[in-house]
Amino acid sequence: MGPESTAIYYHAVIKQCQKQYGAQYEQDYPEIFIYNLPIPDVVEGLEKPEETLAQLIKGAKKIDSIGVDFMVMPCNTAHYFYPGMAKSISIPFICIFWATAKKIKAKGYKKVGFLATETTIKYKSFEKDFEKNNIELILPDQDDQESLTKIIMNILAGHKLSPDKEQMKTIIEHLKAKGAEAVVLACTDLPILLKQEDVDIEVFDTVEILAEATVQYAIGKIGNEILEQEENSPMYFKKYKSDST
């Protein structure tokens, strides 16, 4: 979700294949299926979460049915629905927040700025993974969050504006002033606009992190510990607890 960020994720996977096991020729790369599933906008809120979840489950089951070994979803916001989706399929489903939290912990950071959509911030689908790894998240204030939402919507519309990049850099400066030691781009569209070289603080790009974890899992460097399927979503409890009784 996020057609352009999906393309960037795919390219990142190719680069990780080259980096992790020296892929060179066409036959060196894994078989990959990309399924672009149009869903209602989730950046600014969840107007009909039950319907969105049903669409995502339908998409996940379609992927499951074609015989893949595991799946990923390069969209932080949609990970609110991760528990319900994971429950509905038989294949492993790599969690973007688990991979990100582990990466940050390995670097030794304790306080990081967190840039995400309003929906991700509101429903805190990321919270448990960072708490487990003793990472404190520093969030933008309301004005900065509103600015960030506009930036994300511009990116989704194909507009990569210099003023938006400058605004992002300002938001990051505000997070640094609050004590952030690094910054997480917890929306897979944000790396389209902002790169590591644009700022003087370490940036954790969740697109790159998910791509790295994808290849690590595919070649057996990490196992099922990366597959977080805890029942931590209110939507999960509401729908799937009743279905299972």
Hey, which residues are catalytic here? Answer: 75, 187
- Cα–Cα nearest to 94, from 62, 112, 69: 69
The string of DSSP letters for 196-219 reads GGGSSSEEEEHHHHHHHHHHHHHT
Q: Which tokens hold the place of 141?
A: 């204030």
CA dist 132 and 130 (Å) reads 5
* Residues linked to residue 205 through DSSP beta bridges, in sequence order: 185
What does the CA dihedral 183, 130, 125, 200 come to, rounded to 10 degrees? Answer: 0
Q: Is 112 helix (H, G, I), strand (E, B) or coil?
A: strand
Sheet arrangement for strand 202-205: 136-138, 111-115, 182-185, 202-205
Residue with the two structure tokens 């993974």: 129
